Amino acid sequence: MLSNLLSKLRNGQMAFHKTIRFRDIGFCTMVLDVLWDKGFIRGYTRLENRILLIYLLYEEGKPNLKRLTVLSKPTRRLYASCFELPRLVSNNGVLILSTTQGIMAADEAIQKRLGGELLAYFE
């Protein structure tokens, strides 16, 4: 599901759509919450029939999301401890991971001293 969401986001921004629609899945809404907190999307609303309307964000006419990468896949899971996360975090992008306390950005996981499965990287 995460790869489908990222593909929809990437394709929507490359076609300069203002909004995209995606199925309302709890896992994906948590990822969208992180993207909204970090300023990569304008937000999202829930419509009837379990559909999300995601509002895309552009800066000076250019897509705000420049690089979207799925890190963990069902055939290859990637994990990092709280000690490995500072080496993986860059200043420009956001690393999203799944921890025991939910899905969060890497900087928040470092503050809480949590490790987990690396899900995606956004820049």
pLDDT digits (tens, 9 = 90+) for 11-23: 999 999 999 999 9
Is the distance from CB of 97 to CB of 106 less than 8 angstroms? Answer: yes
Fold classification of 68-122 (topology level): Dna Ligase; domain 1 (3.30.1490)
Q: What is the dihedral of CA 93, 98, 102, 103, to 10 degrees?
A: 30
Tens digits of residue pLDDT in 46-98: 998 899 999 999 988 888 888 888 998 889 999 999 898 888 887 778 899 99
In DSSP notation, 44-75 reads: EEEETTTEEEEEE-EETTEES---EEE--BTT
Let me know if the fold of 2-63 is the same as that of 68-122. Answer: no
The model carries a pTM of 0.86
Domain boundaries, the chain: 2-63, 68-122
Q: Which CATH number fits domain 2-63: 3.30.1370.30, 1.10.580.10, 3.40.50.720, 3.50.50.60?
A: 3.30.1370.30
For helices 26-37 and 2-14, angle between their N-to-C axes, nearest 10 degrees:
50
